[in-house]
Amino acid sequence: MSQPIKIKNALISVYYKDGLEPLVKLLAAQGVQLFSTGGTEQFIKDLNLPVTAVEDLTGYPSILGGRVKTLHPKVFGGILNRRGLASDQEQISTYEIPEIDLVIVDLYPFEETVKAGGTAEEIIEKIDIGGISLIRAAAKNFNDVVIIASKNDYPTLQAQLEEQNGETTLTQRKAYAKKAFHTSSHYDTAIFNYFNEEEPLDVFKQSVADAKTLRYGENPHQGAVFYGDLDAMFTKLNGKELSYNNLVDVDAAVALIDEFEDPTFAILKHTNACGIASRPTVKQAWIDALACDPVSAFGGVLITNVEVDLATAEEINNLFFEVLIAPSYQPEAVELFSKKKNRVILQRNNVELSKKQFKTLLNGVIEQDKDLIIEGPEQMTTVTDKAPTEQELKDLHFANKIVKHTKSNTIVLVKNDVLIASGVGQTSRVDALRQAIEKAASFGFSVAGSAMASDAFFPFPDCVEIAADAGITAVLQPGGSIKDADSVAKANEKGIAMVTTGVRHFKH
């Protein structure tokens, strides 16, 4: 049953006025009596349209600095009364309460004020009371009332009222109510999370207002949706829509590149770096990163922390890749990349990222702080007779940045600010080391004189012995094994340097 309702009276009270004019003019043209408050009332008057102040309806002015405007039985009775219930109709007649059939209201910009660094007082004053109450009341009574809680719905309602001669159907009203409850719950979640930053309660609440349906998930038989504002994070200059796997790799790429300050290029495959180099120029960084593993680089995600010029673009253009990310591009570089319509070219914008991460697990959700620390030379403790050289310390630092963002168990080998090989996601650390050594050799790299980083301690001295025999001269590990002394003794026996950091970087 459609249950069409003709709109006779509308309450309009919004913070943002953009997009409101055409809808208000239509309502007035259809003979709807308009009630409003403050700035919205003046907005309607400036359109030379008739409007009744809410304070004339209630008999009370706006008080307490605007904190109380609409909180009155004549407003909420008008919204909440049930048209089909005789007792409700008798009461609104007794108290001269008009039936309000349409509520258009938005909320004070709480999230925006927090993001802008507002003072505590400014933030608190942006906690909407009347607006949230109006939204919930109208949405609760969707059987008889239309609730519009977002300016994005103005055009849709306008089209419906034009086509249906000022009426709405029950299905339409229920759809608006669902959107309204999303608006109110999202708003309350933002407020709760603001208050929950200090001495937090052990509860999990997240609300993301933007959603994008993806073609599929990790595999074609899996559905997937991305919740977030990608347009704020990136400006897409070319290419198809990002897939689930693209997004996972892009996330890993952004986290990795943010560890580096010098001009750096990284190539990732399945969230792991298969090539990364820091060099004086972006072109040389690309060339040296690609040389690490040109086979795995095919179809990879590429990222740099400096502008991509045409000369670098011409080098990159020789490789098939899925996604390229940079803070900026020369126009000629974008023109070159755009000749292939499917490759995704993203310009990264300056967006603050969350310091938390979470995922579903078993019958719940697991949340943790992001791994946001990295140990440089000043946090490295030499535990062997031989100390690392200045270049070895630099390479150990470089390797440690990579190992932090590589799947465990992992070993990373670096020489002169270039990844020369890594062992990724192995079930034993020895396997990871052997994989790295063999991979380096397969692409013509000598590991002699390289620096090695491990994401966790060595339970036995076997990795140290294998590394030393291969020519690796400096090793970084967190330490903490009950057999640390055995690994240190083996390093001394082999004449290589070892440092510990006291920080483990597992990545499962």
Catalytic: which of 17, 186, 270, 507? Answer: 270
Report the alpha-carbon distance of residue 25 to residue 424 in Å, rounded: 64
Answer for the pair 312, 282: CB distance below 8 angstroms, yes or no: yes
Assess contact for 402 and 256: CB atoms under 8 A: yes
The CA-atom distances, in angstroms, between 447 and each of 197, 411, 414, 419, 452 are 47, 13, 8, 11, 9
> Is 182 marked active-site?
no
Question: Residues in the chain, how many?
Answer: 508
CB count within 10 Å of CB 457 equals 18
* Residue at 300: amino acid letter: G
What is the spatial distance between Cα 371 and Cα 325, in angstroms, rounded to a whole number? 22
> What letters, b where the CB count within 10 A reaches 16 and e where it falls short, cover 165-202?
ebbbeeebbeebbebbbebbebbebbbebbeeeeeeee
State how far the Cα of 30 lies from the Cα of 263, in Å rounded to an integer.
Answer: 63
Number of Cβ within 10 Å of residue 344's Cβ equals 22
The H or E element that residue 498 is part of is strand 497-500
Contacts 24+ apart (CB under 8 A), 371-377: 371/404, 371/505, 371/507, 373/503, 374/259, 374/400, 374/401, 374/404, 375/400, 375/501, 375/502, 375/503
Tell me if 423 sits within 8 A of 410, measured CB to CB: yes
Distance CA(208)–CA(309), nearest Å, equals 36
Q: Of 140, 179, 182, 186, which one is the catalytic site residue?
A: 140
Q: 505 catalytic, yes or no?
A: no
Q: Is the dihedral of CA 395, 400, 401, 402 positive or negative?
A: positive
381 alpha-carbon distance from chain centroid: 36
Residue 410 phi, psi dihedral angles, 5° rounding = -140, 150
Burial of residue 46 (number of CB atoms within 10 Å: 0-12, 13-18, 19+): exposed
In angstroms, rounded to a whole number, what is the distance separating the alpha carbons of residues 415 and 446?
9
How many other CB atoms are there within 10 angstroms of residue 204's CB atom?
Answer: 10
H/E stretch holding 160: helix 154-163
Looking at residue 390, what DSSP letter applies? H
Nearest in space to 29 (alpha carbons), one of 146, 155, 173, 161: 161
Q: Which residues are catalytic?
A: 140, 270
